[in-house]
Amino acid sequence: MKITEVKAIRANRYCYAKVTTDEGIYGIGESGSFGALDASAAQINSFASFLVGKDPLDIEHLWQAMFRGSYFRGSAVMGAISAIDVALWDIAGKFYNVPIYKLLGGKCRNKVRVYSHVMAKTDEELVENCKKRREQGYTAVGHLSPFLDEPITMPYEKTHVKNMEESIRRVHLMREAVGDNIDFCVELHRRSLPGEAVVLINEIEDVHPLFVEDPIPPGNNEAMAYVVSKSKIPIATGERLHTIFEFQDLLDKKATDYTRVSLTTVGGITGARKIAALAETKMSPIIPHNPLSPVCTAAEMQFCMSIDNLLICEYPDAEGGLMNDKAHKKCELVTNYLKPENGYVTVDDTKPGLGIDLVPDVEKQFPPVKMPVMCRLNGDGSIRDQ
């Protein structure tokens, strides 16, 4: 079996790779190169000149060639490698007529615990949406911002004391509203400096969140290690990292308790498994990051089934509106998708490979949407992380 075609597919705000073989078997995968999807699509197409004619089952060898042959990496290149890698695993599963996880050593669990997103612009909406997720059967909720989801176009002008008091109150308000049968995955979304993050985290420890995610901007593992050392709540980070070497430094510096892996930017299933093994040596559970489409979700579920050190997995609502296009839903881009039941996702053992496909002419039905370059400003006009 040989690869005959590798092509990128841009649809709505997503970027996919489709790899076709001379036996008629093809696979799909997704890039998570946020904000640089056109660049990632170009890199997918560029890899075609190397991949065409190769055996698609030589996954590790092809991964090493793409990873080490790319002298400069970053999210666009790693997103392309990720999409192609997942597509190759999809082909392998179809070739052997088994789900991907069975090629990765088999299952470590029967189902995958997931958490769903809660977004809100008011306190009332925040509480109501937490209750809705609980009623839907989730035992954990995430993207749970104590700062609310304020529009990026709104200048930030709050005092420190008001920001802290409102945020701390909201976390306690949510716990009072939904009780202790649901876990909180608190998302600070890189919006705090180390000192601010420590203040907030210490004031919500009595609510016992499952973890606090991305308290400060990425890039300085010493600063993140300071926050971890001062926190009694587990800290989770890593979703913006791309390579095993970056994760090794994060873990060696004790800059995280739980490891956030973006399967679509770390080199796909192959890259994510390397990082999971590394994290296992540090007793750091994996929490896969996923704000993308059902294709990414399908890949992550195969990955989650095959690793032992999984804590929980992020699950974006497939039936919710697409960003920038509320008239459509993520599930409309694919032929089928995995639905959670009582807070868990079960992988269908009867479907080989990923068990999912893109709808025909997906790029025509859902034309590409460019993500604008924009950032939030403070009241004085300076940049604010959000």
Residue type, position 126, single letter = L
Phi/psi at 374 (5° precision): -155, 160
Per-residue pLDDT reduced to its tens digit, 93-106: 999 999 999 999 99
Report residue 246's pLDDT band, with 50, 70 and 90 as the boundaries: very high
Distance of alpha carbon 344 from alpha carbon 359, whole angstroms: 25
For residue 200, the model assigns a pLDDT of 96
Average of pLDDT values for 234-253? 97
Mean pLDDT of the chain: 95
* 155's tokens: 């200048």
CA pseudo-torsion sign 103, 105, 108, 114:
negative
Q: How far is CA 106 from CA 102, 275, 302, 304, in A?
A: 4, 18, 10, 11
Helix (H, G, I), strand (E, B) or coil at 350: coil
Helices 123-135 and 160-178 pack at an angle, to 10 degrees, of: 30
For residue 386, the model assigns a pLDDT of 85
Burial of residue 379, with CB atoms counted within 10 A of its CB: 0-12 exposed, 13-18 middle, 19 or more buried = exposed
Query: What stretch of H or E contains 60?
Result: helix 59-69
The residue with tokens 């030589």 is 58
Q: What residue spans of 136-182 are helical by DSSP H?
A: 160-178
For residue 372, the model assigns a pLDDT of 82
Helices 59-69 and 74-96 pack at an angle, to 10 degrees, of: 170
For residue 37, the model assigns a pLDDT of 93
What's the topology of domain 3-99?
Enolase-like; domain 1 (3.30.390)
Distance of alpha carbon 158 from alpha carbon 378, whole angstroms: 9
Per-residue pLDDT reduced to its tens digit, 30-46: 999 877 999 999 999 99
Domain ranges of the chain: 3-99, 102-353
Per-residue pLDDT reduced to its tens digit, 169-190: 999 999 999 999 999 999 999 9
Report residue 298's pLDDT band, with 50, 70 and 90 as the boundaries: very high
The fourth-level CATH superfamily of domain 102-353 is: Enolase-like C-terminal domain (3.20.20.120)
For residue 325, the model assigns a pLDDT of 60
